């Protein structure tokens, strides 16, 4: 039957039409306003989940809306294809990570296409392919030459049984996730990017990111964590060098009763050489988890070094302790402890019976210390340099060569890319690259003697820090970025989960500034406007596979079609809030689309032109008032109320008194308003009704201002023949509408006092008489 809504059929047809006409492929056009809409690129985990569907539907709605406004819209898609899950899958299923990843990408790409997302697929790339990561390697070498990439020893989680480095997420309750062995801390040389050199700009530019949620800006400010403090030298008894302590509260100096060192502090290590008990304490500290949060909640432990420092003002002798909560990479790795004003210092002092001294804080003391005691003011950030080395296989090879004579030497640019071998066996015990002499044996580019390649790979956050820029020129074979980057950047609208509010966004902002300072882009920030979508919940809890309560988007698409899934996910809640899953909601969405379908088939096709009604009827005024509200809601990204507005429009258009002209005007407007959300059904109905072109290229509907003007006349209202009120009604109001307005009048309601009218007589343009 032709009149039945068959989503699978019309969605296939619409997608074939878009594909044939290359509707979403885009090139630079200086005559149009550009709009770059980007949803965070997915990790190819295997199949789309509801969170993905929500994220990408939001991006798609925004893209369509701006395209219909006449803007030149770029909406690309690609794959964040390196990472640990591929290695874990390889261990479990004995499939090489590359093969597993490509298979997942093929499946998920087909799902995106089935959902009808309007991507410019010409720009698709995978971050695990050399045509992408070679530019990452090239850029790293530029950073190395500028001193913005450097190598230093750093502590990692070490699994002594598997003989491998573990990522933080592979440490479960202090033990290796596979072996169950107690994890140790081990120092190994690693590569770092100097994000701290940009700390001040990363902080101050947040003030200009007015298109970002305030919550995200606050999280970034806290993460960067700027504080102003003082480095104060404390003279040591029987030692030439003073201990430099860092404090943000120099005013509390008079309450200091002991000094505490990080376990890695050189003075602690030196003292331990003559003191076996201290040595074993320092070793014990190595087993503790690294994460800052863990350091804050661990039991406070310490040991006296036996050394003494001299209080710079009072000259009192203060014991020097080692404490497990002092971080070596914050300040100087040494602090002055003030138990009377600091809860943590107090807990420690009580545990180890250290003195607690009441004191009066002194705000000018910092000035005195700077002048008399060689103290130095120092701005400190909580932000640390970014460790980008991973002792893993499935990642971008770090393009460095370790020469026994010359030290670290960059791979010559003409030798890039350093290819990652794709056919390997993953055992879970260390990186396979370390067992591949054909990969790591090479010669030093400087002295031409035998040398070895770096076998570490980059943190996958490196790939996702600049992908947004590469989408502008993915076919560029000779450069990382070209002029097209400056046409499209910054991204006008970025969409992604709140879980990326800190690291990903901070690293991408950092990279953008690095690209700018390398002359590759001319803007300061990568993302102008940011939308952070809420989670998808079921029964009030986050969907998780382990709980078995996932909703498979594919099954829903197969049953109801892509438009219903898109419609439900947009209608169920505002974008920033969490979305509560409901089967009834999905069915409701499907019912609405069926109703729209039936209604559109009931009005007669009129060909390419239709005549808009000239006069402003009351229904038409209500209609355009709602259109005005919907346009406002599109601008502020409140798409759920866009849909409720569209439902009201369909109700109005379904009224008996609607003229054929108004029905067609209304259909043309309603289909365009719904097109960004449900592009397939609107594409079909638009063509069926004979409107010009195709709906996704139609201009955005405008409110007819003349329809909003109200011509009214005054009528008198009588109750049992007695004048009781005067009312304003539209000149073209029907008798039913006039009755309704009269009965809603306050003084009429008072007069009726709850009595039901027996009869209502409307004398057109004169009066209303109510008989009770
Ligand atoms: Zn050399």
pLDDT tens readout for residues 90-126 = 888 888 999 999 999 999 999 999 999 999 999 999 9
Q: Which of 26-35, 191-200, 272-281, 723-732 is predicted least confidently?
A: 723-732
Ligand 1 center from residue 443 Cα (angstroms): 8
Percent of the chain scored above 90 by pLDDT? 70
Ligand 1 center from residue 446 Cα (angstroms): 5
The token pair at 2 is 């032709």
Ligand 1 center from residue 576 Cα (angstroms): 54
Tell me the per-residue pLDDT of 664-678, one tens digit each, with 9 for 90 and over.
Answer: 999 999 999 999 999
Give the distance, in angstroms, between the CA of residue 692 and the centroid of all CA atoms in the same chain: 38
Percent of the chain scored above 70 by pLDDT? 95
Quick check: 391 and 250 in contact, CB under 8 A?
no
pLDDT for the residue numbered 299: 81
Ligand 1 center from residue 458 Cα (angstroms): 23
Q: Which residue has the higher pLDDT, 547 or 597?
A: 597
Q: Which residue has the higher pLDDT, 429 or 685?
A: 685
pLDDT-based confidence at 287, cuts 50/70/90? low
pLDDT for the residue numbered 548: 42
pLDDT for the residue numbered 608: 42
Ligand 1 center from residue 451 Cα (angstroms): 7
Question: Does pLDDT of 447 surpass 90?
Answer: yes
Closest alpha carbon to 490 in 472, 464, 517, 465: 472
Q: Which residue has the higher pLDDT, 570 or 603?
A: 570
Question: Does pLDDT of 307 surpass 90?
Answer: yes
DSSP reduced 3-state for 689: coil
Mean per-residue pLDDT, 444-466 = 96
Count of beta carbons in the 10 Å neighbourhood of residue 482: 14
What integer best gives the mean pLDDT of the chain? 91
Mean per-residue pLDDT, 495-520 = 94
- Give DSSP secondary structure letters for 509-550: HHHHHHHHHTTS---S-SEEEEEEE--EEETTEE--TTTT--
Mean per-residue pLDDT, 604-613 = 57
Q: Which residue has the higher pLDDT, 287 or 74?
A: 74
Ligand 1 center from residue 195 Cα (angstroms): 29
Residue in this structure with the two tokens 């950030």, named with its chain if needed: 381
Ligand 1 center from residue 447 Cα (angstroms): 4
Ligand 1 center from residue 392 Cα (angstroms): 25
Ligand 1 center from residue 440 Cα (angstroms): 15
CA torsion, ordered 78, 547, 571, 1, to nearest 10 deg: 90
pLDDT-based confidence at 549, cuts 50/70/90? very low
CA gap 703, 624 in Å, rounded: 6
Question: Does pLDDT of 545 surpass 70?
Answer: no
Ligand 1 center from residue 444 Cα (angstroms): 5
Residue 701 vs residues 184, 526, 556, 636, 665: alpha-carbon distances, Å: 64, 31, 31, 17, 10
Ligand 1 center from residue 260 Cα (angstroms): 42
Question: Does pLDDT of 615 surpass 50?
Answer: yes
pLDDT for the residue numbered 547: 44
CA gap 288, 182 in Å, rounded: 10
- Provide the β-strand partners of residue 387: 192
Closest alpha carbon to 167 in 497, 459, 500: 459
Ligand 1 center from residue 409 Cα (angstroms): 7
Mean per-residue pLDDT, 232-259 = 94
Ligand 1 center from residue 407 Cα (angstroms): 7
pLDDT-based confidence at 183, cuts 50/70/90? confident
Question: Does pLDDT of 649 surpass 50?
Answer: yes
Count of beta carbons in the 10 Å neighbourhood of residue 187: 13
pLDDT for the residue numbered 300: 87
- Provide the β-strand partners of residue 541: 538
Ligand 1 center from residue 410 Cα (angstroms): 11
Ligand 1 center from residue 386 Cα (angstroms): 27
In three-state form (DSSP H/G/I as H, E/B as E, the rest C), the secondary structure along 444-491 is CCCCCCEEEECCCEECCCCHHHCHHHHCCCCCCCCCCCCCHHHHHCCE
Mean per-residue pLDDT, 725-747 = 87
CA gap 513, 199 in Å, rounded: 11
Cα-based angle 65, 66, 67 (whole degrees, multiple of 5) = 95
- Provide the β-strand partners of residue 770: 719, 760
Residue 712 vs residues 167, 296, 617, 662: alpha-carbon distances, Å: 72, 70, 11, 21
Q: Which of 158-162, 224-228, 597-601, 673-677 is predicted least confidently?
A: 158-162
Residue 257 vs residues 247, 307, 752: alpha-carbon distances, Å: 14, 14, 84
pTM of the model as a whole:
0.85
Mean per-residue pLDDT, 194-198 = 96
Question: Does pLDDT of 546 surpass 50?
Answer: no
Question: Does pLDDT of 764 surpass 70?
Answer: yes
pLDDT for the residue numbered 707: 83
Question: Does pLDDT of 496 surpass 60?
Answer: yes
Question: Does pLDDT of 297 surpass 80?
Answer: no
pLDDT for the residue numbered 515: 98
Ligand 1 center from residue 364 Cα (angstroms): 55
Listed in sequence order, the residues at least 6 apart from 132 whose beta carbon sits closer than 8 Å to its beta carbon are 125, 126, 463, 467, 470
Tell me the per-residue pLDDT of 317-354, one tens digit each, with 9 for 90 and over.
Answer: 999 999 998 988 788 999 999 999 999 999 999 999 99
CA torsion, ordered 11, 13, 18, 21, to nearest 10 deg: 180
Mean per-residue pLDDT, 300-314 = 94
Mean per-residue pLDDT, 460-479 = 97
CA gap 42, 25 in Å, rounded: 20
pLDDT for the residue numbered 610: 55
CA gap 58, 676 in Å, rounded: 10
- Provide the β-strand partners of residue 283: none
């Amino acid at each position: 039957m032709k009149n039945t809504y068959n989503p699978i059929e019309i969605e296939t047809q619409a997608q074939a039409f878009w594909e044939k006409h290359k509707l979403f492929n885009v090139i630079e056009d200086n005559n149009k306003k550009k709009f770059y809409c980007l949803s965070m690129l997915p990790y190819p985990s295997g199949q789309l989940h509801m969170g993905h569907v929500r994220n990408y539907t939001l991006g798609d709605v925004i893209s369509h809306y701006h395209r219909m406004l006449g803007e030149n819209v770029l909406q690309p898609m690609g794959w964040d294809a390196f990472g640990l899950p591929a290695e874990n899958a390889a261990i479990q299923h004995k499939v090489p990570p590359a093969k597993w990843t490509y298979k997942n990408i093929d499946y998920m790409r087909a799902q995106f296409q089935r959902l009808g997302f309007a991507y410019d697929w010409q720009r698709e790339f995978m971050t695990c392919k050399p045509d992408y990561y070679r530019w990452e390697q090239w850029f790293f070498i530029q950073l190395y030459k500028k001193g913005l990439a450097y190598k230093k020893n750093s502590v990692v989680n070490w699994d002594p049984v598997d003989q491998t480095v573990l990522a933080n997420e592979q440490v479960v309750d202090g033990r290796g996730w596979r072996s169950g062995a107690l994890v140790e801390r081990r120092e190994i040389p690693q590569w770092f990017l100097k994000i701290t050199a940009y700390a001040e700009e990363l902080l101050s530019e947040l003030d200009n990111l007015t298109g970002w949620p305030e919550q995200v800006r606050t999280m970034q400010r806290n993460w960067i964590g700027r504080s102003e403090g003082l480095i104060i030298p404390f003279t040591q008894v029987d030692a030439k060098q003073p201990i430099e302590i860092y404090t943000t509260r120099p005013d509390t100096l008079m309450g200091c009763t002991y000094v505490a060192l990080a376990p890695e502090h050189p003075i602690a290590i030196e003292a331990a050489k003559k003191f076996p008990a201290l040595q074993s304490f320092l070793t014990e500290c190595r087993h503790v988890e690294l994460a800052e949060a863990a350091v804050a909640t661990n039991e406070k432990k310490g040991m006296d070094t036996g050394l003494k420092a001299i209080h710079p003002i009072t000259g009192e002798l203060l014991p020097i302790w080692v404490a497990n909560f002092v971080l070596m990479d914050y300040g100087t790795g040494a602090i002055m402890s003030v138990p009377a004003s600091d809860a943590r210092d107090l807990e420690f002092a009580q545990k180890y019976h250290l003195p607690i001294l009441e004191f009066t804080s002194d705000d000018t003391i910092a000035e005195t210390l700077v002048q008399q005691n060689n103290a130095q003011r120092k701005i400190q950030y909580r932000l640390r340099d970014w460790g980008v080395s991973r002792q893993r296989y499935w990642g971008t090879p770090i393009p460095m060569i370790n020469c026994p004579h010359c030290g670290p030497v960059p791979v010559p640019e003409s030798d890039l890319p350093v290819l990652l071998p794709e056919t390997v066996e993953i055992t879970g015990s260390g990186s396979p690259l370390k067992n591949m002499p054909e990969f790591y044996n090479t010669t030093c580019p400087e002295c031409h003697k035998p040398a070895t390649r770096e076998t570490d790979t980059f943190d996958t956050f490196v790939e996702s820090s600049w992908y947004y820029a590469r989408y502008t020129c993915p076919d560029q074979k000779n450069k990382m970025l070209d002029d097209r980057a400056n046409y499209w950047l910054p991204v006008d609208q970025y969409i992604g989960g709140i879980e990326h509010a800190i690291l990903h966004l901070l690293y991408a902002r950092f990279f953008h500034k690095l690209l700018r300072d390398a002359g590759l882009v001319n803007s300061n920030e990568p993302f102008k406007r940011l939308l952070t979508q809420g989670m998808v919940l079921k029964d009030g809890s986050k969907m998780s596979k382990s709980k078995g309560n996932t909703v498979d988007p594919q099954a829903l698409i197969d049953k109801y079609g892509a438009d219903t899934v898109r419609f439900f996910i947009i209608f169920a809640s505002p974008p920033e809030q969490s979305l509560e899953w409901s089967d009834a909601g999905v069915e409701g969405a499907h019912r609405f689309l069926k109703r729209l379908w039936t209604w559109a088939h009931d009005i007669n096709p009129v060909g390419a032109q239709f005549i808009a009604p000239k006069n402003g009827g009351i229904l038409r005024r209500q209609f355009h008032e709602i259109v005005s509200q919907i346009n406002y809601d599109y601008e502020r990204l409140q798409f759920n109320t866009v849909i409720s507005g569209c439902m009201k429009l369909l109700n109005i258009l379904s009224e008996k008194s609607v003229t054929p002209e108004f029905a067609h005007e209304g259909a043309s407007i309603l289909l365009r308003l719904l097109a960004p959300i449900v592009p397939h059904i609107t594409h079909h109905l638009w063509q069926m009704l004979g409107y010009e072109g195709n709906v996704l290229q139609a201009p955005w509907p405008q409110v007819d201002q003349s329809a909003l003007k109200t011509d009214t006349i005054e009528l008198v209202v009588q109750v049992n023949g007695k004048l009781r009120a005067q009312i304003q009604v539209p000149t073209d109001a029907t008798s039913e509408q006039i009755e309704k307005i009269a009965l809603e009048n306050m003084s009429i309601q008072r007069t009726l006092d709850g009595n039901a009218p027996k009869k209502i007589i409307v004398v057109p343009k004169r009066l209303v008489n109510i008989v009770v």
